[in-house]
Structure formats: C-alpha cells, structure tokens
Structure 1
Amino acid sequence: MIFPTLFGRWPMPSWTGIWEKSNPTKWKEGRFRMYKYKKLFHGLIGSSLVVLLAACGDGGSSPNQTVGQKPADKAEKPPEPVELKIHAAGVAEQEFNTRFKDVLHKKYPHITITWLPSSGASNSVAEYVARGEIPDIIRNISSTIRTNYLDLGLGYDLNEMVMKYKYDLARFNPIFIDGLKNLTSPNGELYGLPVSPFFSRVLYYNKDLFDKFGQPYLKDGMTWEEVYDAARKMTRVENGVVYRGFSANVSSLLTYNEYSLSTLDPAKDELSSFETWKKIFDNYMRFYQIPNNTIGKTVAEESAMFQKGTVAIHSDIYSPYLNLSMLPNWDMASIPIIDGAPKKIGIFPPGYLLITKQSKHKDEAFKVIMEMLDNDVQMNDARNGFLPTLADKSVLSVLSQNSDAFKGKNMKAVSYYEFAPLRPARAKGMTVIDTNTADAMLRDAFMNSALGSEDVNSALRKTDELLRKEVEKEKSKTK
C-alpha cells in the first residue's frame, strides 16, 4: 500500500546539528530549499489524496458524498391497484367491514375489496358464475363446498400458495384442516382455510328460575343424568304458568353430535349407525316425556322457547349472535356427554375462505386471506365473541371480553371438552346427496317421535328409507 509512505514522517538527516554549527549561511540556504521541497511535497500529497478518494468512491458520485457511501436506492414502484371480489354467504357486509375492512386497507391500500351480495337466489355463487361474474374469494361452509364451489368448476388448490409463501398450516386446529381435506380432497388438495365463526354446544340456564324454585345452579362437567334430574325438578305449573325444565335447538342435538356422526353412512347407502342414532334419540327423548315439558310444535318454536323466560335449561350452540337480553339473569355450563361417547363437544364447523381458479389475482387473494386469519385479527375476533380457528388455546382466554351480552358469563363452558372433528364425507365413489336434505330428514324423525306421532325405532327406519330413495334419485341423474 502507498498510504504508509505518503503519511510517514519527513526524513531528517542525523547530521543536521553538525551542518548548523559549521556553516550558518549555507545552513539557512539549505533550510530555505528544504522548506520549498516540503511545500511542494505536501501539495503533491494533497493532490494524491483527491485522486485516491475519487478512486475509492463511485465514479458517478456527488462530490459531497461521504467516502464509501452508496448512492440512495431508487424508490420502489408502488404496486398496481387491484380489485378483489368476495362472495361470503351467511355473513353480512357490515360484519365483514367491522372485522376485516380497516385491517386489510391498512395492510394493502392498493387492494380494493368489492363485496358481492349473497342473499337471495339471484345472488348465489351459481348465479354469479352463470352471469360470468366469478368472485376471486368465496366463503363457504364445509358441507356446501362441493356443491357451491367444486361442482361449479371453481376449485383451486391452495397448496401452491402455501408452499410459495411458506404458510404454516399447523397454526390452525388440525380438525379444521384435516376435516376439510377428508370432505373434499381425495388427493390431498387444500381448497380453503378456516375462518370464524364456528359454534360449539353449551347449556344455557335461567338463574332466576333456579333461585325461584330453590335449585342449585348448573356446573361444568355434569352428566346428562344430572341435567335430566334438574330438568324434572324444575318442570312444574304455578299460578297457571307452565315452567319447562328443558328445551333445545334440535339441530344442535343431532347434527352437531359428539360422535361426529353423519346422517347418511359414509360407505353405505343407508342411515349411518342405526343403533348410535337410537341412543342419541333416546337420550334426549326422555326430557320431552317429563309431564308438562312438551316439545314445541316446530323446530323453530322449540328453539325460541328459552327466550320467553319460562324454561330453566336450554341446549344450544354458543354464538356471539345470540340475543338473550330479555333474560336478566342467565349463565352457561358445559354440554354433557352421552354415556360411552367420545368426550368431545360437537360443533357447527367454521367457514372456509376459498380462491377461484379463474381469479387473475391469486397472490393478492391469498395475501388477503392470510391477513384475515392473522393471529392479531383472530385475537380481536375472540374478544368480540368469535371462536378462533387457531390451535393456540390461549386465545380462548379472551373470549367475549368485549361483549356486553357475555360479560361475566362462564366462558369456560364453551371449550370445556375438546372440539369434535368434522363429520366424515362419503367414501370415494359413493353417491353424494345434499347434506342439509339428509339432516332435515333426521330432524323430522326426531320431532315426530318427541311429539308422540311415531316411536323412535319407526322414525329412524323411515329416515333410512327416505335416505335410500334420495340416493337412488341422485344416481338417476347420472344415468
């Protein structure tokens, strides 16, 4: 390197002192010449430094640029504006805006979400497809993904995006990912990611009635036998008012059972497990055989009985949408488990966010979905009463903290047991019928038995016959 030589000390001869003493005049002349040489040399050093510093920097740099400093990076080009159309059946636009709109706009200001109306026959996914207005993102529930997505030729396997963005599927409760794949994906395709709300079963009880009749409150972990005993004691007639001990959302009793039992057998064209369904029917039927605890005439009437204030115990789903404001003093307890059944809480499954294969903005759509399912978003959802789809159970600790309706309630009841898996799909090659149609047949059978028009065995045999006919009807469409 040249730097040590340039910046070293000026070499002074060792005989300087001798020269100074022996010849003062010559010494002065020599000092003058030496001064000129030093001045010239220092000028050369300065010139060399300028050249060296210029060589060290970028040839195109500004003269004021610091040594070694890189020129400022060019500003990144802002992303092009993108419009994403979303169809979310079963969710109101106001709810979507409250939960997601601000979050998405802050994260992706260049993406505009266009909300497609979903209520009414003319606004179904099938109608949008028929009109050539295919959404980019669709929200469906697991039981309708086949009919309202795959059968319409919209299916897009998200595994591609999961790999591209290294997205961790383990962050979700595995029953939701595995359940969807079992229902829709014979070859491991992943068509959607789970989004709240989903609903688990609980027991609601009217504390005022328990106080009125001097009975102890319900508690978590009770058996159906203990609940039956409480319902029997609470059912009575006083001053012409019939007080019922028990009512239920019949759909939740049957469809969201702890066995994860489907109505139609996954592998046979018949009612799934006749004996298990008989056990389920018998467990609940006894409540409606208590004198003065007659079931409502319809499923809707029975579901609304608790709000009237004359029913002590009500079996239903936990839901942030439930309005019990007309009851000043109520609470919840965990749903009991039928003796011998898996200790699981039956659930109404979550929705799933799907991308259509026709979308021209799949990357943007996936980014939007990732943001909607972000931990912070789900934490905020949980505070407002929505059960999270995450595997992390700590999120449940804040459930309904911001909800006036559930403030001070026993929120532990909602997840007292593990959630039951989604009901299995029909086996590969088996004829598929509409799930809602099959479940409606089973509800009718239960109502007929509870109202006394049929015994349980006859009602279940009739359901079996109807299911077989429905399968044959579906098979005839492909002949």
Structure 2
Amino acid sequence: MKNVYARMAPLCAMLLVLSACGGQNNDAQQGGSAEQTPKAPVKKEPITLSVFGFGTAQDNEFDQRYRKTLEEKFPHITFKYIPQSQGNSLAEMVARGETPDMIRTDIPNLKNNYLDLKLGTDLNELVKKHNYDLSRFNAPFIQEMIEAGRTGALYGLPYPPYFPMVLTYNKSLFDKFGVAYPKDGMSWDEVYELAKKMSRSEGSGVFRGFSANIMAMLRDNPYGYPILDPSAEQLYEPEKWKPLFNNFKRFYELPNNKIEATRPAEINDAFKKGNVAMQANQYSQYLPIPEEIDWDIVSYPSLEDAPKRMVWRGSFYWSIAATSKHKDEAFQVMMAMVSDEVQLADAKKGMLPTVANKSIREAFGKDRADLQKKNMKALFYYQDWAPYSPKRKAGLADVPTVVQQDSMAQTFHDVASNKVDLNTGLRQLDEKLKQELAKDKSK
C-alpha cells in the first residue's frame, strides 16, 4: 500500500506545478480580454464493455444495481452483461475467444478462475493514473487482494457486500421450549450449553440445537490460521487445528444433533427446515431464510483464548481482463461501481459496504423494513477485524483457496460423521494438499 501511495506522490506534485504555472491564459497575461470561445465537448468514440458477473440466481443484479448509473455516466459505452451459466463459465468463454472486459473475482477463486487463465491485470498503474484513493476501502480488502496475487499486484477493487460470521437463531423454537434467546457477546461454551437445551425429541419430531457452515468457520477462523502452510508443502500446523475441530465437533456429538449426511445439506438446508434452533454462518442476502421462520441474529461466538474480533469473509471484486482493449474505460466504470453514491444505495438495501465511510455503514438496511426489526447491530458488535489468513509466498506452488477450504470442510464432515478419527482426518487432509501441490507443479 505504501508503495502505491509513494508512486502517486510524484504525479500529484507534477499536477500541482502544472496548475500553478498554467493558471492564466495568454490574453489575460497580454492585458487583453480573458473571454474564450467555449470548447466543444470531446466526443468519445462509442465502445462496448462486456461484464462477466453474477451467477444465474442473481441475473438481474447488474441491471438493478449498476446499469442506470453507468449508462448516465458513460453514454458512449454499451454494457453487455454476461451472467455465469451452464456452458458459459469464464474458462469456457476464454477457450472460445470471448473473454469479457470486466470480471467478477474473489479471493477463493482468484488463482483458478482468473490468474491461471492468464487474465491478471495489475490495477496499480490505473490507480496511479487516475489518482485513485485506495484508503477509502476497509484496509483488509485491499491488503488481502494484494497478498493473494503474490506479486504486489492489485487485481481488483472490492464491492459490496462482505460477509461477517453471525449466529442466527429460530425465535419460535426458543419460545416453544421456554429457553432464553441467544445474546450478543456469547462464548462458544455458552452456545454449547444452549445447544444442549435445544437438542431434543418431542413426539415424532427431532429438534436440533445447532447447525453450521463449518467451511466458513474453519477458513475464516479468529486466529487467521491458513489451511496450507504459507512456506512449506503441508497442512499448516495440525496441532493448532485440533482445538478448533474439537470445539465444533462436540456440537454434533449431542443427542438429537447429528450432522446432515452431506455438507450442502448441513450448510444450506438444515436451518431452513425450521427444526434447528441455531446456525453459525455468514450473514448474506444471498442466503435467504424462508419467511415462515421467525429468525434473528447475534454476534458470532468467541473462543476463550482468541481475540474478540469480527470473523469475516471478504467481498467480491471487479477485475479487468488482460485481453481487454478498453482497460482505462473499464477502470473508470469500476470506480463508478464502487463509488460512495452506489455503495450508499447498496447499504440501504442491506449490503455491507466495502468502504470505511461511517455514514454509509450507518445507513445499512434503512430501506429494508424487515431488517429494521432485526438485531442488525450484531454485524458491528466487534470493533476489530480478525486477520485474514496469510497467503503462499511468491514462487511456491499453490492450491486454489476454494480447493483448500472444500478439502478441510470435507475432512471435518468426515470426522463429525465418525467416518474417521481426528488424527486420521488431518493426516488425510495433509496428503490431499500435497497432491494438489504436485498438480500445480506439473502445469
């Protein structure tokens, strides 16, 4: 970050000098009239920018969030939005020679779905050219993207939302069994005691006390542990992972709280059935809860020996393809898409902003009557951000984050399902990571 600002300083100085030296026109200096014939606006050549973005579940999101603003600001640009769909993945588009100009990226897929496709465009020069202030963003989003790229390059600008971890609970079930609701600032031990009370059978029904998105909980842990060691070809310090595994595993050892048969069922379906009292997961508008469930949230539970910090998954990013013939225009469009104006509108609709602007954060959910009734302050309960996990050192073989996180989540699921013991599961995870590293080396 300091290098970016350091490179910007000479440019800013030059602009100041030019401004000071060229502030008067010739006529004024000669004592003549200062009036000038207005210059006709420069007509910009029309271009088309293709934007590859949201999955099919959010096909209208580009239009709803951006199109009107962009078409008003850039009348010479025709925007061709391309949603991801079957047979239309980014890799398939690249193979067909139809690479879009702008691409939605994220940290877990940066390697496999952007850099490995030879699409990486370092935005640092465009940041410098446009004197763009990166400090307006929450710092971890920029820092993690730079570190994930492993070369000092900046491969994207973060746009809303990001995804903090929270504990969601079913108020109706707590009312049914006469148990007090969870509250902000709870520890995992306190949540475990609640889960014991809420895991029960009644008549022909089984009521689970707890479910979780273990993949997110392990990847986005409060210690900032990486899954793959940053500098060695192995799982990062298995002994450090054991307490985390055991903390979560105990919930699935409770009577009537057996983990679902598959990871998607546990993460995506369990809480929606209406018979699960609590779920630890990311807060996201992309994970809607059925209207018939009377839910609320509290802050994510803390571990006794871990700092009390917000545990989070970063945002998505807008990036530019190396093949684009309109990189400068694409960057200007990206600046508009992450502007305060657009992020304020996003925040009011319930999307957590990626900028540090306090007034935008305070506008969160203002246009959402449903959110006004929820404990949304839980999203901001922790003042400090948990560290993101350190990335692999430059020059070393690497494994896409998405592969790392899925491999670890499957390991936990196998352990919680009693298919393997913890030591065996971690050993198998270590072997899996080494196999993936070997694949990367063979490319």
Q: TM-score, normalised by structure 2?
A: 0.87
Matched, 1:182 2:147: yes
Q: Which residue of 2 aligns with 1:225?
A: 189
Amino acid at match of 1:236: R
Matched, 1:433 2:399: yes
Distance 2:437 2:110 in 1: 19
Distance 1:441 1:145 in 2: 17
Matched, 1:167 2:136: no
Alignment partner of 2:112 out of 133, 138, 147: 147
Contact 1:244 1:292 in 2 (8 A): yes
- Give deviations 1:337-383, integer Å, cap 9, x for gaps: 22222322332221111122332222211110000000111111111
Matched, 1:215 2:179: yes
In our comparison, the structure showing a higher alpha carbon Rg is 1
**Residues 1:313 and 1:171: Cα distance change in structure 2 (over 3 Å):** same
Alignment partner of 2:208 out of 240, 244, 249: 244
Distance 2:402 2:322 in 1: 26
- Matched ranges for 1:312-327 at <5 A: 312-327=277-292
Alignment partner of 1:204 out of 151, 168, 182: 168
- Give deviations 1:190-235, integer Å, cap 9, x for gaps: 2211112321110011111111222111111111111111111111
**Residues 1:169 and 1:74: Cα distance change in structure 2 (over 3 Å):** closer
Q: Which residue of 2 aligns with 1:381?
A: 346
The alpha carbon displacement at 1:435 in A equals: 2.3
Contact 2:150 2:393 in 1 (8 A): no
Q: Which residue of 1 aligns with 2:122?
A: 157
Contact 1:85 1:113 in 2 (8 A): yes
The alpha carbon displacement at 1:176 in A equals: 0.7
SS of the aligned residue for 2:79 comes to strand
The alpha carbon displacement at 1:447 in A equals: 1.0
Q: Which residue of 1 aligns with 2:48?
A: 83
- Give deviations 1:155-178, integer Å, cap 9, x for gaps: 222111111111100000110111
Amino acid at match of 1:454: V
Matched, 1:293 2:257: yes
- Matched ranges for 1:12-411 at <5 A: 70=35, 72-90=37-55, 92-120=58-86, 122-186=87-151, 188-303=152-267, 304-411=269-376
Q: Which residue of 1 aligns with 2:7?
A: none
Amino acid at match of 1:415: F
The alpha carbon displacement at 1:68 in A equals: 5.3
Q: Which moved more, 1:371-380 or 1:320-329?
A: 320-329
Distance 1:254 1:404 in 2: 33
The alpha carbon displacement at 1:260 in A equals: 2.5
Contact 2:150 2:391 in 1 (8 A): no
Distance 1:217 1:472 in 2: 49
The alpha carbon displacement at 1:404 in A equals: 4.7
Q: TM-score, normalised by structure 1?
A: 0.81
SS of the aligned residue for 1:380 comes to helix
SS of the aligned residue for 1:353 comes to strand
Q: Which residue of 2 aligns with 1:448?
A: 414
Amino acid at match of 2:101: D
The alpha carbon displacement at 1:72 in A equals: 4.0
Identical residues among aligned pairs (%)? 43
Contact 2:142 2:157 in 1 (8 A): yes
Distance 2:435 2:39 in 1: 69
